[in-house]
Amino acid sequence: MTDGKKMKLAVLTSGGDSAGMNAVVRAVVKTAIIKGCETWIVREGYEGLVRGNSEGNRHTYSLEKGTSSPRLKEHPDDFVHNLRYGDGELLKDGTGDHPGGRTLRGRYIVRVGWDDVRGWFAEGGTLIGTARSTTFRTRDGRLTAAHNMIKEGIDALVVCGGDGSLTGADVFRAEWPGLVTELRQQGKITEDQASKHAHLKIVGLVGSIDNDMSMTDLTIGAPTALHRICEAIDNINSTAFSHSRAFVLEVMGRHCGWLALMAGVSCGADFIFIPESPPDADRWEDEMCQMIQKHRDVGKRKTIVIVAEGAIDSKLQPIHAEFVKNVLSERLGLDTRVTTLGHTQRGGKPCAMDRILPTLQGVEAVEALLESTPDTPSYMIGVRENKITRVPLMEAVKMTREVAQAIAEKDFPKAMSLRDPEFCESLEGFYATAVLETEPKLPHHLRMRVAIMHVGAPAGGMNAATRAAVRYCIRQGHKPFAIHNGFVGLLDDNVHQLSWLGVDNWMTRGGSELGTNRKLPDIDLGAVAAKFQQYNFHAFIMIGGFEAFTSLLLLEQGRKHYPAFNIPMVHLPATISNNVPLTEFSLGSDTSLNALVDACDAIKQSASASRNRVFVVETQGGKCGYIATMGALATGACIVYTPERGIDLDMLRNDVKYLKRRYALDAKGKSEGRLVLRNEVSSDVYTTDVITKMFKEEGGKLFDSRSASLGHTLQGGIPSPMDRARAVRLSLKCMAFIEHHHQELLKQQARSKQAPPESAAVITIQGTAVQWVSVQDMVEHADMKNRRGKHAWWDGMRDLVEALVARPQILAKG
C-alpha cells in the first residue's frame, strides 16, 4: 500500500451529471484519507478550478475553528482529524450558505473530511456541482486553474466526466510543466512551490449516461439511466396496450446507441434506431412498417419504437421521433404518440450497479494516483470483464472519437467494431427476439421440440430468458414447450406449446410465468425419462439456481440408463442467491441487489431519523453471502455477516467495540443510522434477533438497535434492465448451443444416440466472457453440501466494506 502522507488530492465532476458521481466522490475521499492524503473537492467542475478561492476565503475555515468538538483536540492524529474536516453540511445543503454564518460563497476548492461525504450514496446527480467551462478551454483559464491549485498545495486531481472532461484533463496534465514555469516567471508562485508542483498527477473516471466511452464496458451513470428509461417504457406499455397505440420514444445518446439498444432489448420494443447501425435511407420506412404490421397481424395491441437522440439513416440524415410517428400514423393508421424522455433519464437515485462500480473505480483511482510517476501516462479507470482496469486516458478518448468519425464517414461496420462485443450481441439479440419471420430459417430435419422449465425459487429475468428462447425457436422453426411447475408438472403432463404473441409481455414480468418447483428429477427419474420420450423432446433448457444445476447433473448421470436424456440439455443460472458455481452473475442477482438497495435506503432513512439507530437487516441468499456482501457495498453498511465466514463471539465483541467508538466519534446531534447486513443462515446461534438485542444492550446511551427482515422482497418486483438484457443474451446463446449439439447428434449413425458429456452444460459468466462448462466439470467447483461454489469471487469485497467505514482505523484507536 502506497503512503499518501504528502499527497493533497482533489476530486471534481465535470460535463453532464450522471448518477454515481457522488459515489465516486465518496470513495475517492474515503480511500484517500485511509491512505493518508489530504482531501479536497472542487465545486462546479473545471470552472471551480478557474475561479478558485477568493482572497480571504482561502482555506480560512478549518475544523478546529468551525467545530466546538473538544474530542478532536484530544485526538490530534490524522484519521480522527480527517473524520469531520470541512463543509459537508454546506455541500449537501446545496445553497452554499449556512445558518451558522459559514458560507461557500467565493470558495470553490474546499477541504473535506470523512464525514462530509457520508450518506452520499443514495443521491442522484453530483452534490459538488458540475459545469461546462469555456474558460478552462483556454490556456489562460488553465493557467489560472493551475495557480489556484498550487495556492492550495494540491498536487493530484481526480476528474469524473465524459470524453470532453477527460480530454481537458489530459491537456491540463500535458501543459502543466509549462504552466508552472509561466507562473514562476510571472512571480505568482515561489521557487519552492514550482519545484514541489513540477508534475500534476491526474486520473479520469468516466461519468456519462450514454455509455459512449471506448475501452470500458460501462460508464458511471449509464445503468441508472437505463433504469429510468425502462421504468418509463414499462409504464407506457400499459397505456399503449389499453388503447392499442403506438409510442415512439426518444432517448439520449448523441453518438452512442447503447441506451436505445439496451432499452429496446430489455423492454421488448418493436423497432429501434441507433447511430452505429443506421437503416437503409431508401427502405427503412417500408421495412419498419412491414415489421410492425406483421406484429399487429398476429394480434399485438401495442407498438414501441425507440429512437436514439443521434439516430440517422445510412445517408446520415437525422431520424426524428416526430417523423417516425408520422410514418406510423399515415402508413399504418396507428394512433401514435411521441414521448421524449429528456432529462428524466439523468435523474433519480443511483441503481445498485451505479453504487458498486463507482466505489470500486474510485478506490482504484486513488491507488493509480499514488503509484503515478512523471513517466506514467494519465489513466482512465474503467471496467472490463468485471475487473476494474486502468487504461491510458488519451487512448480511450481517441478510440471514442473514432466511433463518431467512422459514423461521419459512413463506415458503420467500423463503428460497430469499435463497440464492445456485448453491444453487437445485444443488437443481434434484439433482432432475433423482435422480428417475426414469415418463413422459419431452418429446414424441417433440423427443427427441434424444445422443452423449457423453471426450477427452484423465482428470480428476475427467468421470464425474459424464456421469452427470448421462445421467440428464437419460432424464428428458426423449432417448437417451444413450457413445462409448468418443474419436474412435478412434467409428471402431471402440465406441458404446453408457447406462442410468439403469448410471451410478448414477459420481459417485464417478475416471478416465474411457468411456475417453479424445487423438486429434483430423482423424484422418479424413470418417469421423467418416459415423459421426455412421450413428448419427443430434442432439447431441454432449465432456468434456475442450484437445484437446476443438481437436476442437470442427475439427468446427465441418468443418460446411462435412459436414452431419452441423450439430448442437449442446458442450465441457465437464475437465482437471487447467485450461488451457482463458476458463474459470476446469475439472472435475478441484479434485480435482487436493487430491491435490497431500495429497502435499505428506506430503512436507513428511518434509522437516521432517530439519529442513533443500528438496523440489523436480514437478507436471503441461502448459504451464499453474495447478496449480503454486495448489498453492504451498495448501501454503505458498516458490518456484514456471511455464511462463508460465519459469526463468532470475538467478531461480535469487535463489532460492538467498533459501533461504540464510531457513535462516540459522531458530532453531537449528528449521529446517523447505520446498517448491518446479515445473511439469514450466517449462524444458527447468533441470529438476527440475538445480534440486535446484543447491540441494543451494549449500545447503552450511544445507540439503539432494531432488526428488519427483507425476506422474499429480495426477489424483486419488475426485473432490472440488466437482468433482462442479460437474460436475452444468455438465452440466445443457450439456443445456439443446443442447435449445435442437436446437429452433431443427428450425424451419429447408431440407432441409439449417445450424447457427449459436454452436451449437458451450464452457461456461465466469467468476466464478460460467457463460457460453457459441462455439468460434470462443474462438480469439482461446487460445494454440494453448502449449495454454493467453492470459490466466492466477491469474498474480498467484505474487506472493502470494512475499509470504507474505517473499521481498522477506528478499532486501532484504543
Annotated binding site: 16, 132-133, 162-165, 208-210, 245, 252-254, 309, 337, 343-346, 518, 575-579, 613, 620-622, 680, 706, 787
Q: How far is the CB of 422 from ligand ATP (least distance, A)?
A: 20
| Minimum distance, C-beta of residue 232 to ligand ATP, in the bound complex (Å) | 20
Which 94-123 positions form the footprint of ligand ATP (CB under 6 A)? Answer: none
CB-wise, 163 or 504, nearer to ligand ATP?
163
The yes or no reply on residue 171 touching ligand ATP (CB under 6 A) is yes
- Exactly one of 4, 168, 588, 621 binds ligand ATP (CB under 6 A); which one? 168
Specify which residues 706 forms β-bridges with: 615
> In whole angstroms, how close is the CB of 156 to ligand ATP at the nearest point?
18
Choosing from 20, 113, 161, 621, the residue that interacts with ligand ATP (CB under 6 A) is 161
Q: Does position 132 bind ligand ATP by CB under 6 A?
A: yes
Nearer Cβ to ligand ATP, position 164 or 717? 164
Query: Least distance from C-beta 210 to ligand ATP, angstroms?
Result: 6
3-state SS, residue 760: strand
Q: Would you say how long the chain is, in residues?
A: 814
Nearest Cα neighbor of 245 from 340, 344, 325 is 325
In the chain, the amino acid numbered 311 is A
Least separation in angstroms between residue 166's CB and ligand ATP is 7
Calculate the CA 369 to chain-centre distance: 25
As given in the structure block, the three cell numbers for residue 760 are 449437458
Place of cell 423449432: 478
Stretch that binds ligand ATP, among 13-21, 308-316, 413-421, 460-468 (CB under 6 A): 13-21
| Residue 651 sits in the site that holds ligand ATP (CB under 6 A) | no
CB nearer ligand ATP, residue 73 or residue 343: 343
Asked whether 694 and 659 are in contact (CB, 8 A), the reply is: no
Neighbour tally for 350: CB within 10 Å: 28
Select 204 or 279, whichever has its Cβ closest to ligand ATP.
204
Q: In angstroms, what is the minimal distance from the CB of 283 to ligand ATP? A: 33
Among 13, 31, 53, 133, binds ligand ATP (CB under 6 A): 133
For every residue of 596-637, which 3-state class applies, written as one string? Answer: HHHHHHHHHHHHHHCCCEEEEEEECCCCCCHHHHHHHHHHCC
Q: Which residue is nearest to ligand ATP (CB)?
A: 164
- Which of 177/646 has CB closer to ligand ATP? 177
Which residue number, 137 or 518, has a Cβ lying nearer to ligand ATP? 137
Nearest to ligand ATP of 211, 586 (CB atom): 211
Given a contact cutoff of 8 angstroms between Cβ atoms, the answer to whether 562 and 599 are in contact is: no
Among 22, 39, 148, 208, contact with ligand ATP (rule: CB under 6 A): 208
Three-state SS at 295: helix
User: What is the 3-state composition of the chain as percent helix, strand, coil, each rounded to the nearest 5?
Assistant: 45, 15, 35
Annotated binding site for substrate: 208-210, 245, 252-254, 309, 337, 343-346
Nearest approach, Cβ of 781 to ligand ATP (angstroms)? 41
Pairing mode, if any, of strands 788-789 and 539-544?
A: unpaired
Binding of ligand ATP by 167 (CB under 6 A): yes
Site for ligand ATP contains 15 (CB under 6 A): yes
Q: Is 148 in the site for ligand ATP (CB under 6 A)?
A: no
Q: Which of 13, 14, 619, 671 binds ligand ATP (CB under 6 A)?
A: 14
- Residues at the annotated binding site for beta-D-fructose 2,6-bisphosphate? 518, 575-579, 613, 620-622, 680, 706, 787
Piece of the chain touching ligand ATP by CB under 6 A; list 130-138, 197-205, 359-367, 664-672: 130-138
- Residue 794: CB minimum distance to ligand ATP, A: 30
Residue ranges at the known binding site for Mg(2+): 163
Task: Report how far residue 770's alpha carbon sits from residue 293's, in angstroms, rounded to the nearest whole number.
Answer: 35
* H or E element, residue 490: helix 486-491
Angle at 38 between CA 35 and CA 40, to 5 degrees: 120
Please say whether the beta carbons of 478 and 448 come within 8 A: yes
End-to-end CA separation in angstroms for the chain: 23
State the nearest-atom distance from the C-beta of 140 to ligand ATP, in Å: 12
Residue 46 near ligand ATP by CB under 6 A: yes
Q: Which of 88, 162, 621, 631 binds ligand ATP (CB under 6 A)?
A: 162
Residue span 56-75 as binding mask against ligand ATP, x where in contact by CB under 6 A, dash where not: --------------------
Q: Could you tell me if 113 and 40 are in contact, meaning their C-beta atoms sit under 8 angstroms apart?
A: no
Smaller CB separation from ligand ATP, 49 or 482? 49
Q: Which of 39, 53, 148, 165 binds ligand ATP (CB under 6 A)?
A: 165
Q: Residue 202 pairs with which residues in a beta bridge?
A: 157
Cite the active site residues.
Answer: 210
Pick 392 or 477: Cβ nearer ligand ATP: 392
- 398 near ligand ATP, judged by CB under 6 A: no
Stretch that binds ligand ATP, among 34-42, 118-126, 163-171, 731-739 (CB under 6 A): 163-171
Contacts 24+ apart (CB under 8 A), 480-485: 480/450, 480/452, 481/449, 481/450, 481/451, 481/452, 481/535, 481/537, 482/452, 482/453, 482/514, 483/451, 483/452, 483/453, 483/514, 484/514, 484/515, 485/514, 485/515, 485/516, 485/517
Rg (CA), the chain: 28
Q: How many residues bind ligand ATP (CB under 6 A)?
A: 17
Q: How far apart, in whole angstroms, are the C-alpha atoms of residue 755 and residue 377?
A: 53
Closer to ligand ATP at the Cβ: 208 or 683?
208
Residue in 85, 121, 136, 472 binding ligand ATP, rule: CB under 6 A: 136
Among the candidate windows 10-18, 342-350, 449-457, 514-522, which touches ligand ATP by CB under 6 A?
A: 10-18
- Shortest spacing between CB 24 and ligand ATP, in angstroms: 14
| Contact assessment for residue 338 and residue 246, using Cβ atoms and an 8 Å cutoff | no
- Residue 251 or 596 having the CB closest to ligand ATP: 251
Q: Which stretch binds ligand ATP (CB under 6 A): 95-103, 158-166, 555-563, 709-717?
A: 158-166
Q: How far is the CB of 171 from ligand ATP (least distance, A)?
A: 4
x/- binding map, residues 605-634, to ligand ATP, per CB under 6 A?
------------------------------
Per-residue DSSP letter, 513: S
Select from 641, 586, 650 the least CA-distant residue to 617: 641
- Judging by beta carbons within 10 Å of its beta carbon (0-12, 13-18, 19+), is residue 18 exposed, middle or buried? buried
- Window 528 to 567, contacts with ligand ATP (CB under 6 A): none
Strand ranges, E, within 120-274? 156-161, 201-206, 246-251, 271-273
Residue with cell 516567471: 185
What's the CA angle centered on 65, arms 60 and 67, to 5 degrees?
130
Supply the DSSP string of 198-241, one letter for each residue.
Answer: SS-EEEEEEB-TT---TT-S--BTHHHHHHHHHHHHHHHHHHHH
Q: Which of 183, 212, 205 is nearest to 195 (CA)?
A: 183
How far apart CA 574 and CA 459 sit, in angstroms, is 6
| Least gap, CB of 250 to ligand ATP (angstroms) | 17
Task: Identify which of residues 252 and 357 has a Cβ nearer to ligand ATP in the complex.
Answer: 252
Tell me which residues touch ligand ATP (CB under 6 A). Answer: 14-16, 46, 132-133, 136-137, 161-165, 167-168, 171, 208
